[in-house]
Chain A
Amino acid sequence: MPELENELRTRLRQDAERVRPDVDAAWSDVSRRLGAAPPARSRTPAWQRPWLTASVAAALLAVFAAVVLVPGDGPTTVAVGPESDSADEAGDAPDQAARMSADSPEAATPRPTTTSAQQDGEAPPERSSYVGPFEGMFPAVTWETYDRLRHEMATGSRAWTADPEQVATRFLQEVIGAEPDGQLRPIGDQVAEYEWSGGRLVLRRYGPPGDPWVVTAADAAGVQVGIGGYRGMELSVAVRLERAGTVTVRTGAFDSEWVAAHTDEVPAGGTTEARLQVGREDAPGPDALLVEVRVDFADGSTAHARYRADAIGPPSGD
């Protein structure tokens, strides 16, 4: 029976490859039906607020909730933030001439390019190089700090059961080391956003009033990333930018090599979609897969996000 199961998986993947719907056309239809969202690759910024909205928070919650609530065997990094000075970023400068200026949104946009492998010889980072869950964005937050915090939140041993604004304030001061100059926006009884000058936190309470609030997401730099999950031979990643920039998405295995890359120039408020072929007979399993999203903004600043594929996708169910 295992042979049949393996054959079935292979055939399903092969058959699925033949189904290639037009995502742009579909989104155009759906966005019209939704009544508010812009058409695909709109040149008009749709953001009404500087930071990620609640729906983005929801998209990221699955990842971060797993980080916060499910003790893992290893680090799971989701970070979007300022440029890292790590060595693996070297030699990765984008083509400045090809960048789209944020104030010239009608400039011609090259089609995205997706390659089967990164050609610059640069290898993915070592697994051990990850130092914290918010690496890049909040470098001071180490896994040690984060684990302690997670435990304290889970056990309610400190004042994490207070009102969410106090929790957000404490998180910023004690964990991130930032000034809590923002404002809380409750979303229902169990979710709240806190926006401050350096980014945004999402807090969630998984039980009734009195249970601790947990910081389930944090982001900065106006980058939102949605990952459709690793299924079959393909990994789907969508990236939306508040500001114009060049998006590079790469995937590969820790301590190994990049197996696929996608580069696209995205206007302010625009979205790019990467469908990366990651499956091979000898491909690494999802638990070894690393996804890196790098953004080179038109104004010269950069941001990057890294994900471990085992933190992607639906809840594990247990």
Chain B
Amino acid sequence: MTFAQAAPTVLAALMASLVEFVEALTVVLAVGVTRGWRSALAGAGLALLVLAGLTAALGPAILAVPVRLLQLGLGALLLLFGMRWLRKAVLRAAGVIPLHDEAAAFEKERRALSGPDRSPRAARALDAVAVSTAFKITLIEGVEVAFIVVALGAAGPSALAAASLGAGAALLLVIALGFILHRPLAMVPENTLKFGVGVLLCAFGTFWIGEGAGLAWPGGDLSLAGLVAGYLLTALFARRLCAAPREALA
């Protein structure tokens, strides 16, 4: 796999994973600040262990599936996932639905978890509510990342390595920023990222479906760039159409 072939896969996995990890970090930070870091880190760590176990168990099973069937199945899931993201990003960009606010999500989670002040001794003990909250969000967002990595890596081991590299870089970046800042990453332009990731996931999904169906892509792998451009123009056009009635009302 050349750099030109690997770059879109690394970029798509990095951007998509960044969005998911930022969402998980927001809740884990809220748990840590409100109920204690031991419980927050224990919940998140336990979820990462479960994810590692699931990946180790299911990974070899996926490799046993015939390539064309894998491309069709993962392509369909990638399209359902990517089109949903892109549609939501279009509607947010057009002002139809509100933008996602990490700072507000952090405050909401912090309020939901806050209770009577805990003594220093109690704060050192594990708290079941805090552990399960951190566990749930890390597992849910982690499953999304694992799916994205597997789907983007459907072309083979080198594509899987490229997708894993992107997701790993996103994880390290978010952990480092969370460690330094100790507050939610509100400055991440989440909707712009989701817009871009939605375009990339739709392009990959369409490409895999075409490959699985045996369609002849003009230009081979290069048609992936054409699909990215096509989905970007489509999304911008949809954003314009969605914003038009609202601008007329204003």
A binds B: no
Binding site for B on A (CB under 8 A): none
